[in-house]
Chains A and B, each alone.
Chain A
């Protein structure tokens, strides 16, 4: 395997304070250097992406008085894909008096992440969660309320308390609109300059510091250079490497991948979350997959027929001939086991031939009992919009026929490596939200992505970036700085190359083929042989792409094929690194399941003696193997043990 990568020196998170875990965040805020309000006006920050992690960071840094430049590829910052998050956001408020606490949220998250995240980070996340809810309510986020006027909660996978705050099935939308409005308020105040329909295509590094970006104006095609004292990437995850995922069509890895090529370590790229409750694929024209919120597992019961090949109408299958397999295998958590476990269980029953629907790739999510128990109006009030969405997409009525669901790629726990301050391995480059790797380990719990995005943007980054900026303003840079000119030139050359190939295949046809390779060999279950094959096939396909892709039109116009081509080119490079990461991690943990490493009952088997580390990958150079830098993980508070949800 050493043919595929080189092992470098170990790394450490130098910023994480020692001492009692509950005091570390206080300690770091106290030890971080401050910037006085008058000096903040002289300092500038670029924020790429306007999802929860980006919009909240840009708004908060603007409020603090920094000059902020915000970028998004969409026509408005309000469209970032955080908007599609449905279920909710966790916070250790203990409003239910059900035994919740900051410590319990911390414990659940470390355990849910299968002991592959950092205790310090997760504890801070749990502490800050409480403030997020306060902040969002103050902004006017219309969370669900009870008749007394107080906030309602529900429970989510992997936990036994009710700590999830929600706004019907549109929690992400409401939180993002809150952050978007805070951002627009700063645009009006003149502290934030908003650049919509702009895509970051390169990072500018000068004297070892991140000092700016090269962005393409997607309407005019102009290649622009933008400069600042620090750069923040909040550009989301890379699930679209699989082509079919629950991500938006435009979600891509380019911002973080380009930064990786400039020296930022990419951590744990193989940790991918396959979400158990998505609408199954219906045909090869399919462009995306739609999630049905995990919250449905609160009231819906998941089952398949006892016998393989049973094609009866589900309503005609009697109770005793149904296998409620999650309730059977995991009686303590039942339908609310963590996502990785629920997904794999669905795959297993389908592999046994008991799957339902076209191609046998589906399981039932049945609300008949809930409707009997609560009445249809109550079910409608809780999940109405999700049921409508299901019916619109499938043409079936879930109030009458059980929903069919199947796992789909949903979230990526891996991302750019960051220290406790959220700074990457390039000084001055910070990374927030799904784009970084830091808090979820090998598996993210439901309702924790919104929590992490907003924690990073509202509360963590604005309290750590000052430690870096206190040394600024840094030396003046502009277009004439050689590093900036070279970066812009590299972008132009890449675009010219893509437009000049004029081959025989469309960008989408390459993307789909890449997606199939990744799903087959680097999806829910992985093994040595398959991953090796995948690396080979990705390399061949990438070569063909650069000789045979057809991108029409020109750069100086809105050119959606050109946009896609650049993104897919970067997905090819990332895909190879994901497979190498998955190959080298010869254990199963969370969303990373190696068939060679499982317990007797088929659960993920970790090898803590060998793999209790973050795999941070350093770019080795074009065509050169990547360099593995291990960051050892230590657990002082939560005892590392085999996860059990039985």
Chain B
């Protein structure tokens, strides 16, 4: 396959940035999207042009490091991570546009690399269960109904890639926040901090310049891990309960 790429190039945080067109030839349909970018980068280096910077690490869809907007869609045409997208999803002769996540809370560092530190700060605000090492009771001390355990698990599979933010017209980080609130809130171990957690995490979310959630649902549509949209309903329910009980004061 021969592909034409239009790639966002931006030297640094203060550079204005621009789209640059490259041709990539002899692309195998079995290549991953990132391997296709590797091929481009190897050529650019030999031609004396700096390679395109992009975040990636595990390349098996679980670390959450990679993520670019491909033809206007976060992670591209399949519902998966960018590293698990393969060139068989494209056709010979295609022109593909590649851009970084666009969100005020995720400033661009270089080319396709953005700063997602805001997600870590939302977790710091309360996305945990306080269980200092050594204090735990036996693991079977509190059984968890399978349905609750499964729901917690489904929410816990979030990889923190940020596609939800990139896809949202408001650049909201609510699906990410809700996934954690749901994961911990479904478990007996998560109950003591449940009411304070949701308030603190939502406050931090708002402080980070993420937009508000208006229930559009683009986030869940692009989520490579299928985090369900109803986690946001769960978050809203918890938030309302917490604010009305005054427990979070």
A residues bordering B, Cβ < 8 Å?
56, 59-60, 63, 74-81, 83-84, 93, 95, 131, 133-140, 142-151, 167-168, 170, 173-174, 177, 180-182, 184-185, 187-188, 194, 196, 219, 248-250, 282-283, 285-288, 290-291, 389, 392-393, 395, 458-459, 462, 504, 506, 508-509, 550, 552-553, 557-558, 560-561
Apart from A75-B65, A150-B143, A196-B117: 18 A-B pairs, beta carbons within 8 A = A74-B63, A78-B120, A84-B63, A93-B139, A131-B136, A134-B138, A134-B139, A149-B149, A151-B139, A170-B157, A182-B131, A248-B59, A285-B28, A395-B88, A506-B46, A558-B53, A558-B109, A560-B51
CA–CA, A459 and B134, complex, Å: 8
Report the 10 A-B pairs with minimum CB-CB distance, sorted nearest first: A149-B143, A181-B128, A138-B136, A138-B131, A134-B136, A142-B153, A188-B124, A248-B57, A137-B139, A60-B133
Flag if B156 contacts A142 (CB, 8 Å): yes
| B62 in contact with A63 (CB, 8 Å) | no
- Given A76-B119, A140-B190, A552 and B51 touching (CB < 8 A)? yes
Residues of B within 8 A of A181 (CB): 123, 127-129
Answer whether residue B38 sits at the interface, using C-beta atoms and an 8 A cutoff. yes
B48-77: CB near A (< 8 Å → 1, else 0) gives: 111101011111111111000000000000
Chain A residue nearest in CB terms to B152? A142
B116 touches A75 (CB 8 A): yes
Q: List 5 A-B contacts (CB under 8 A).
A: A184-B123, A248-B59, A249-B59, A389-B61, A550-B45
Contact A173–B157 (Cβ < 8 Å) = yes
Q: Are A138 and B135 interface neighbours, CB within 8 A?
A: yes
Please determine whether A147 and B146 come into contact, CB atoms closer than 8 angstroms: yes
Residue of B nearest to A86 (CB): B62
Residues of B within 8 A of A77 (CB): 120
* B217, CB-defined interface residue at 8 Å: no
Q: Is the CB of B125 within 8 A of A188?
A: yes
Partner of A168, one of B53, B131, B153: B153
A residues less than 8 Å from B55 (CB atoms): 75
Q: When chains A and B are docked, how far (Å) is the Cα of A170 from the Cα of B39?
A: 30
Contact B120–A286 (Cβ < 8 Å): no
Closest approach, in angstroms, between the C-beta of B13 and any C-beta of chain A? Answer: 9
CA distance A149 to B137 in the complex (A): 16
Q: How far is the CA of A287 from the CA of B145 in the complex (A)?
A: 42
Query: Is B62 within 8 A of A185, CB to CB?
Result: no
Instruction: List the B side residues contacting A291 at CB < 8 Å.
Output: 60
B residues with a Cβ closer than 8 A to A are 11-12, 28, 30-32, 34-35, 38-39, 42, 45-46, 48-51, 53, 55-65, 78, 80, 84, 86, 88, 109-110, 113, 115-117, 119-120, 123-125, 127-140, 143-146, 149, 152-153, 156-157, 159-160, 183-184, 187, 189-190
In the complex, the answer to whether A140 meets B189 with C-beta atoms within 8 Å is yes
The CA-CA distance from A509 to B39 in the complex, in Å, is 11
- B126, closest chain A residue (CB): A188
CB proximity of B39 to chain A, nearest CB, Å: 6
Contacts of B56 in A (CB 8 A): 249
Known: A170-B157, A187-B124. A557 touches B11 (CB 8 A): yes
The answer to whether B145 and A149 touch across the interface, beta carbons within 8 angstroms, is yes
Whether A170 lies near B62 (C-beta < 8 A) is yes
CA distance A593 to B144 in the complex (A): 46
Quick one: closest B residue to A282, CB to CB? B30
Chain A residues, CB < 8 A from B39: 285
Residue of B nearest to A133 (CB): B139
Task: Report the minimal beta-carbon distance from A439 to chain B, rounded to whole angstroms.
Answer: 19
CA distance in complex: A56, B132 (Å): 11
CB-defined contacts of A282 to chain B, threshold 8 Å:
28, 30
Distance (whole angstroms) from the CB of A414 to the closest CB of chain B: 22
| A138 x B59 contact (CB < 8 A) | no
Shortest CB–CB separation between residue B34 and chain A, in angstroms?
7
CB of A198, distance to nearest CB on chain B (Å) = 13
The answer to whether B113 touches A138 (Cβ under 8 A) is no
Contact A139 B131 (CB under 8 A): yes
- Contact yes or no, B84 A76, CB < 8 A: no
From B63, B88, B146, B183, residue with most partner A Cβ within 10 Å: B63
Q: How far is the CB of A506 from chain B (nearest CB, A)?
A: 5
